[in-house]
A and B are shown apart, each in its own frame.
Chain A
Amino acid sequence: MLFDYLSVLVLVALGVGNVLFMVALPKLLRPSKPNPQKLVAYECGENPVGTSWIQYNARFFSVALVFVVFDVEIVFMFPWAVVFKSLYKTQGCVPFWEMFTFVLVLLVGLAYLWAQGLLEWVKSVRKA
């Protein structure tokens, strides 16, 4: 019975073996002549300035987070919209109110974000 899973073992072995092969073979064949100019970090042709780990502003993260939430909301609305006509024939208005509740909950979240000033790039007044 376990022979059914032989193909999985072969797949894993080939996958791991492939990667190891692709890393080991060039390492054996290529010349190694390190040079300070070659080892410098690439920064679009310029000489790198400063450290690479900087502290970026949290507003980028907050914009991305807000985007993801509302994007997922739209993603959920798409399949609902596609089947809505046939749902309306069988279940009447119930699917509409279900989606309405969903959007309403997210609207409350939007209102909160708006009030906290998180929709502005430059936060002017923060509510206490």
Chain B
Amino acid sequence: MRASLLNLDYLLPEWIVCGTILVLILSYLLGTTDRRRLADLSALGLVTALFFSVVTFFEPAVVGRVSIGNGLLQVDPFSQLFKVLFLVSTLAAVLYSAGSVEIHGKRWMEFNCFLLGVTSGMMFLASSMNLMMVYLSFEMMSLSSYVLAGYTRGDPRSTEAGYKYVLFGAVSSGVMLFGLSLMYGLLGTLDMGLMAQRTALAQFPDLHLLLLPLTLVFVGLGYKIAFFPFHYWAPDVYEGSPTPVTAFFSVGTKAAGLALLLRLLLGTLSLDQTQAIPWAGDLLAFLAAMTMTVGNLAALNQANIKRMLAYSAIAHAGYMLMGVAVLNVAGAEAVLFYLFAYMFTNLGAFTVVVALFNLYQSEQVDELTGMGKLFPLASVCMAICLFSLTGLPPTAGFIGKFYVFAAVIQKGYFVLALVGAINTAISLFYYMRIMKAFYFREPKAEMLAAGPMPCGYNVLIASLTVPVLIFGICWSRLYEYCSTSISSLIAH
């Protein structure tokens, strides 16, 4: 659809995702109720959108940053790389929830629509260049997530998760909106590109007044990314939501929040160039240290795999926040790379949890013993993913942590790096507890009765784990793409 008046053809991935929602509803109304068929439709739409995102990442016009809708959206390598991330995580979500017993067949089509709704919200958020668009896409993403969190009808935990998510989310979004309005008042424009020019040239001597608006925006972003002290909703929501949904939240919405954070701090407020807000880096470093510590210490005691992975997701948000706290190009590239590594790793680990729940209806580590003997492929992949979450070579998680720590140490935040190192060591304990249950215990007698792992799940788990190993060994190409994205973000 050539709507060159507003450059809408660069938004082809978003068009395709939204079009897939319509196609799903129409085909459902016209009689396709087969779960497999609907999943194939969503997957097809997502793969097409993924193709166009990748193609536009390399297009020269996009490298030069295309503005759409008179400055509402900007298509640049930064946004396209994040769109690739979102689409891959949604694709994995559709595939592993297609076989999940937690999502009932009656509402499978709507589940896909909500997933695609969250994805389109995230994609618009990565491209937003206007404060109003930021809020609109943030809410688009959040509202569909609220429904997804409470998707299992009749399950009190799921309803509680949805309820808590809505309450926290509504309040945090409201506070964030207030902060955005104050930013508008201070800087005189809604357009983030113009704001970048004004802050870079230090035309506004009162930039220290950004303390209040920035803090308020941090509330909203902190809620989305789940860093301290706004992470309190995460364990309960992650535990109560259906496992496929938890996996999607832990990767997708977190990445979207980080995209917005990077865009705001580095792109709009140019904090890498100006010393206008000298306390920003230290505040972020403190929050990162607290987030890591809280996440890791709380995960030590968890017996429920989902809750433990939720706390680990909080801890990883802390590691990523370390990369943001250094407020320079190296840190931002490290965060982006870490996000990719984390996405594959976390999705792989959660797919194993989903598959095991399908077979045994259990999430307790004590009950899932002896999986190494029963499901060798899945257990090996789980081991690789857990090693990657800890940050051991030769996995992608190690490379991600390496880059983050390098950026932190180069900037001079030695205490932060020390806290990060101690936390990494602590995290090994609870990740290995799962490995202990899988490999060093015998399977319970009733476990042997359940069937073998479905072939589809084996394929999915393996295809999510292979990138973890690949990016742990030859990561330079991916890192180059991250560099291109960040340089497009910062170039004014």
Q: Are B106 and A111 in contact (CB under 8 A)?
A: no
Interface check B5, CB cutoff 8 A:
yes
Q: Are B29 and A115 in contact (CB under 8 A)?
A: yes
Q: Are A94 and B5 in contact (CB under 8 A)?
A: yes
In the bound complex, CA of A128 to CA of B34 (Å) = 11
B30 to chain A: closest CB distance in Å?
A: 10
Q: Are B29 and A111 in contact (CB under 8 A)?
A: yes
Q: 1/0 per residue B200-231: CB within 8 Å of A?
A: 00000110000000000000000000000000
Q: Are B206 and A108 in contact (CB under 8 A)?
A: no
Q: Are A108 and B25 in contact (CB under 8 A)?
A: yes
Interface check A16, CB cutoff 8 A:
no
Q: Tell me which residues from 81 to 116 in chain A have a Cβ below 8 Å from any Cβ of chain B.
A: 91, 94, 105, 108-109, 111-112, 115
- Contact partner, B33, options A91, A108, A111, A128, Cβ 8 Å: A128
Q: Are A128 and B5 in contact (CB under 8 A)?
A: no
* Chain A residues near B3 (CB-CB < 8 A): 94
Interface check A29, CB cutoff 8 A:
no
* Chain A residues near B28 (CB-CB < 8 A): 112
Residue count of chain A within 8 Å CB distance of chain B: 10
* Chain B residues near A108 (CB-CB < 8 A): 22, 25-26
A63 to chain B: closest CB distance in Å?
A: 19
In the bound complex, CA of A109 to CA of B24 (Å) = 11
In the bound complex, CA of A115 to CA of B28 (Å) = 10
* Chain B residues near A109 (CB-CB < 8 A): 25
- Contact partner, B106, options A1, A91, A112, A128, Cβ 8 Å: A128
Q: How many A-B residue pairs have CB under 8 A?
A: 20
In the bound complex, CA of A111 to CA of B27 (Å) = 12
Q: Tell me which residues from 24 to 52 in chain B have a Cβ below 8 Å from any Cβ of chain A.
A: 25-26, 28-29, 33
B34 to chain A: closest CB distance in Å?
A: 12
* Chain B residues near A1 (CB-CB < 8 A): 205-206
A27 to chain B: closest CB distance in Å?
A: 30
- Contact partner, A112, options B25, B33, B205, Cβ 8 Å: B25
A128 to chain B: closest CB distance in Å?
A: 6
**Range of interface residues on chain B?**
10 to 19
In the bound complex, CA of A94 to CA of B466 (Å) = 47
Q: Are A112 and B29 in contact (CB under 8 A)?
A: yes
In the bound complex, CA of A1 to CA of B33 (Å) = 65
A25 to chain B: closest CB distance in Å?
A: 31
In the bound complex, CA of A109 to CA of B28 (Å) = 12
- Look across to chain A and name the residue whose beta carbon is closest to the beta carbon of B26: A108
B37 to chain A: closest CB distance in Å?
A: 15
In the bound complex, CA of A115 to CA of B29 (Å) = 7
* Chain B residues near A94 (CB-CB < 8 A): 3, 5
- Contact partner, B5, options A91, A105, A112, Cβ 8 Å: A91
B390 to chain A: closest CB distance in Å?
A: 45
In the bound complex, CA of A105 to CA of B117 (Å) = 14
A55 to chain B: closest CB distance in Å?
A: 14
- Look across to chain B and name the residue whose beta carbon is closest to the beta carbon of A91: B5
* Chain B residues near A105 (CB-CB < 8 A): 18, 22
- Look across to chain B and name the residue whose beta carbon is closest to the beta carbon of A128: B106
* Chain B residues near A115 (CB-CB < 8 A): 29
In the bound complex, CA of A128 to CA of B33 (Å) = 9
* Chain A residues near B33 (CB-CB < 8 A): 128
* Chain B residues near A91 (CB-CB < 8 A): 5
In the bound complex, CA of A109 to CA of B21 (Å) = 10
Which of A111, A112, A115, A128: most chain B CB closer than 10 A?
A: A112
In the bound complex, CA of A112 to CA of B26 (Å) = 8
Q: Tell me which residues from 21 to 47 in chain A have a Cβ below 8 Å from any Cβ of chain B.
A: none
Which of B25, B33, B106, B205: most chain A CB closer than 10 A?
A: B25
In the bound complex, CA of A109 to CA of B26 (Å) = 9
User: Closest 7 CB pairs between A and B?
Assistant: A112-B25, A115-B29, A108-B22, A108-B25, A111-B29, A108-B26, A112-B29
Beyond known contacts A111-B26, A111-B29: 7 more, CB 8 A cutoff: A91-B5, A108-B25, A108-B26, A109-B25, A111-B25, A112-B28, A112-B29
Between A and B, 16 residue pairs with Cβ closer than 8 Å are A1-B205, A91-B5, A94-B5, A105-B18, A105-B22, A108-B22, A108-B25, A109-B25, A111-B25, A111-B26, A112-B25, A112-B28, A112-B29, A115-B29, A128-B33, A128-B106
